[in-house]
Amino acid sequence: MTHKTEKATFAGGCFWCMVHPFDEEPGILGVVSGYTGGTTVNPTYEQVCSGKTGHVEAVEITFDPEIFSYQKLLGLYWQQIDPTDSGGQFHDRGSSYRTAIFYHGEQQRKQAQESKEALESSGRFNKPVVTEIVPAGTFYPAEKDHQDYYRKNPLHYRLYRQGSGRDDYIRKHWQVKKDENELRRKLTPLQYHVTQEKGTESPFENAYWNNREKGIYVDIVSGEPLFSTNDQYDAGCGWPSFTRPLSEGRLTAAADGSHGMVRTEVHSQFGDSHLGHVFEDGPDPDGLRYCINSAALRFIPEKNLETEGYGEYKGLFI
């Protein structure tokens, strides 16, 4: 079935960092880095960075609204930026790095305004939200070197994000605010031990190590969608194993030197739940094995995706 596609245009500082969060989501057909909002025709990166063209660095997203709605795009957009900063984003300063939502049509304008007002009234920030909501104009794709930068230069991209202060800001403002007593009431002792104390459950004696039902796994604490059974395989280790996450942007990684080993530990981005580890002994195409504790996950069967609020992932199982 062919659905009608739409465009969404967002400015959020350096466009390298605004592609990855959207690129791997279901229903996203393409994300292009470029320039918009200015007067110069076909500006170059150097011209835009000078601040003299009026353009901002932005991304133009082609999406299927029946799979991933504009409201969900807006929610994801706010989680990538500092909407209270009118002078740039993080260590990138100047007008070309300001934030803005460029709406395509009256419906997008209304949804963007409602989303902004909801964010302002949420109390999440102690300063006004200054992100502009303006009509979309001509969008000029950026030079080839700037397209899909996170794929072409993954190490530099990660270092840049971290060094710019973007990742720390996102964690500070969007991670789940944890109350230890509430978590202990919500979670079983094993779930708490695994997610909050970096514990490990017993192999072959956990809920999902040999799961054969189709569906996705979400963080037991935050509900973030993390893995799909499409990427699950039997690694023989006794824990759920995956070749990849639903989106790398939903995970954070850190070196783990415990138990006399050097491993890479993975956490959920917003729940900051300890999930398990990622190893380089997996199958093709990337050779990765995400070895994850069942106790850190909640399974959503394919048949329940819509009712549980994860309907955009139904397309994974067609």
Residue 291 among the catalytic residues = yes
Structure tokens at 174: 């969007």
Q: What is the 3-state secondary structure (H, E, C) of the chain?
A: CCCCCEEEEEEECCCHHHHHHHHCCCCEEEEEEEEECCCCCCCCHHHHHCCCCCCEEEEEEEECCCCCCHHHHHHHHHCCCCCCCCCEECCEECHHHCEEEEECCHHHHHHHHHHHHHHHHCCCCCCCCCCEEEECCCEEECCHHHCCHHHHCHHHHHHHHHHHCHHHHHHHHHCCCCCHHHHHHHCCHHHHHHHHHCCCCCCCCCCCCCCCCCEEEEECCCCCEEEEHHHEECCCCCCCEECCCCCHHHEEEEEECHHHCCEEEEEECCCCCEEEEEECCCCCCCCCEEEECHHHEEEEEHHHCCCCCCHHHHHHHC
Name the nearest CA neighbour of 318 among 70, 22, 67, 71: 67
Q: Among residues 17, 49, 237, 291, which one is catalytic? A: 291
- Report the chain's terminal Cα–Cα distance, integer Å: 11
Q: Among residues 14, 17, 49, 237, which one is catalytic? A: 14
Residue 17 among the catalytic residues = no
Active-site amino acid positions: 14, 291
